[in-house]
């Protein structure tokens, strides 16, 4: 029975997202908020040109509505919600410019990075003031804590900016990012319950429900894309949860697909810059699988399964280590 309230949060978030999606998709089509497909991407994606984007708006709005009516008393959740909404707004600006200019480039890399850093700094200030978090990093699968003093703040900024960009890179196939985020949020819901942070567990369930509701429209063939509006917000929310639960390093394992996608881009660029050769047929990693002959749905399901195995394995190891 202990899980019933959290299951209710998920169900309400799913229903709210689906309802808002039914309203939001026609509006996105009416105002021609269409996705521009990058020319250097796989040719099979060109048929997606014109699909509405900015679906992250109704996903995050659903999260705001459900959270305010259920968890507005928690400072931790308020900080997480502010970070999520802030990244959503930043992503919306990027998507809006893309749609307005009819191109695949919105904000410049410097503008986007600066916005991400400023929002992450605000989150750091809010959590340190309201929650009085310690300046220590918990080493995964151990009881060790590494105290790094005021270096903890730039560390947190790197985690948040890195996670939001990693989820953004993962958002390249129908349902891929939303499904992986659902799994990660559910894993963090269980982890938050394990460490006694019931309010954070509730927020994680709400975000998971929003991702599941969004999949109703985003699974192949997608009726709408989340855009940077959604991917930056989801990445920020996941990173924020890792911070308030002091599991920043654990995020590397709980979000293994996001890490793999980001690493594939870093390695591809580094290899080409240093040796003039590409490691992958195309990055991020999901495109490599596509160009290797996998169908879009095969890649998505394989990545979902991998993320699920990683999350389950991590939670199992955490529980075993806690009992030892």
At residue 34, the 3 state secondary structure works out as strand
Return d(Cα 195, Cα 198) in angstroms, integer: 9
Sorted by sequence, the CB contacts under 8 Å of residue 131 that are 6+ apart come out as 75, 76, 79, 244
pLDDT of the residue at 59: 95
60-83 tens-digit pLDDT: 999 999 999 988 889 999 999 999
The neighbour count for residue 59, using CB atoms within 10 Å, is 32
Task: Name the most confidently modeled range: 27-31, 111-115, 316-320.
Answer: 111-115
Return d(Cα 263, Cα 217) in angstroms, integer: 29
Element (H, E) at 89: helix 75-101
Question: Do residues 55 and 74 touch, judged by C-beta distance below 8 A?
Answer: no
pTM of the predicted model, to two decimals? 0.94
At residue 145, the 3 state secondary structure works out as strand
pLDDT of the residue at 33: 65
At residue 252, the 3 state secondary structure works out as helix
CA dist list (Å): 31 to 223, 226, 291: 15, 16, 33
pLDDT of the residue at 323: 73
Task: Look over the chain and give the mean of its residue pLDDT values, rounded to a whole number.
Answer: 90
Confidence label for 207 from pLDDT (cuts 50, 70 and 90): very high
How confident is the model over 145-170, as a mean pLDDT?
94
* Residue 39 reports pLDDT greater than 60: no
41-56 tens-digit pLDDT: 566 565 666 788 899 9
Element (H, E) at 151: none
pLDDT of the residue at 43: 60
pLDDT of the residue at 120: 96
Question: Do residues 122 and 82 touch, judged by C-beta distance below 8 A?
Answer: yes
Question: Do residues 51 and 225 touch, judged by C-beta distance below 8 A?
Answer: yes
pLDDT of the residue at 40: 58
pLDDT of the residue at 143: 81
Tokens of 237: 């929310």
Residue positions counted in the chain: 324
* Residue 282 reports pLDDT greater than 80: yes
Question: Do residues 48 and 246 touch, judged by C-beta distance below 8 A?
Answer: no
At residue 304, the 3 state secondary structure works out as helix
Which residue from 66, 92, 116 is spatially nearest to 240, judged by alpha carbons?
Answer: 116
Confidence label for 189 from pLDDT (cuts 50, 70 and 90): very high
* Residue 102 reports pLDDT greater than 90: no
CA dist list (Å): 137 to 238, 246, 251, 293: 17, 7, 12, 42
How confident is the model over 191-210, as a mean pLDDT?
95
* Residue 15 reports pLDDT greater than 70: yes
The neighbour count for residue 165, using CB atoms within 10 Å, is 20
* Residue 103 reports pLDDT greater than 80: no
pLDDT of the residue at 93: 92
**Ordered DSSP codes for 176-237:** HHHHHHHHHHHHHHHHHHHTT-HHHHHHHHHHHHHHHHHHHHHSSSPS---HHHHHHHHHHH
How confident is the model over 17-40, as a mean pLDDT?
78
pLDDT of the residue at 92: 93
251-281 tens-digit pLDDT: 999 999 999 999 999 999 999 898 888 999 9
For the four alpha carbons of 283, 182, 157 and 257, in that order, the dihedral sign comes to negative
């Amino acid at each position: 029975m202990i899980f019933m309230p959290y299951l209710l949060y998920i169900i309400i978030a799913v229903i709210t997202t689906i309802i808002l999606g039914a309203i939001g998709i026609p509006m996105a089509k009416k105002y021609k908020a269409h996705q521009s497909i990058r020319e250097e991407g796989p040719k099979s994606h060109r048929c997606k040109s014109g699909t509405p984007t900015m679906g992250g708006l109704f996903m995050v709005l659903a999260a705001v509505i459900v959270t305010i009516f259920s968890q507005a008393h928690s400072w931790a959740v308020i900080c997480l919600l502010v970070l999520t909404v802030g990244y959503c707004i930043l992503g919306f600006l990027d998507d809006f410019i893309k749609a307005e200019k009819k191109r695949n480039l919105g904000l410049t890399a410097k503008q986007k990075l600066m916005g991400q850093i400023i929002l992450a700094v605000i989150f750091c200030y809010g959590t340190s003031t309201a929650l009085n978090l310690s300046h220590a990093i918990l080493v995964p699968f151990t009881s060790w804590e590494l105290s790094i003093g005021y270096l903890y703040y730039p560390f947190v900024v790197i985690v948040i900016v890195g996670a939001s960009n990693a989820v953004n890179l993962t958002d390249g196939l129908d349902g891929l990012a939303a499904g992986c985020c659902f799994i990660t949020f559910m894993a963090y819901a269980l982890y938050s319950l394990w460490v006694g942070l019931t309010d954070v567990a509730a927020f994680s369930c709400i975000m998971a429900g929003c991702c599941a509701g969004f999949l109703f429209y985003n699974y192949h063939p997608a009726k709408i894309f989340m855009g940077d509006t959604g991917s930056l917000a989801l990445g920020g929310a996941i990173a924020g949860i890792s911070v308030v639960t002091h599991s920043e390093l654990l995020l590397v394992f709980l979000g293994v697909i996001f890490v793999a996608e980001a690493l594939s881009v870093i390695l591809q660029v580094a290899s080409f810059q240093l040796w003039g050769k590409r490691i992958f047929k195309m990055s991020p990693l999901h495109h490599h699988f596509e160009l290797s002959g996998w169908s879009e749905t095969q890649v998505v399901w394989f990545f979902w399964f991998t993320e699920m195995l990683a999350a389950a394995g991590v939670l199992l190891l955490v529980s075993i280590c806690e009992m030892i």
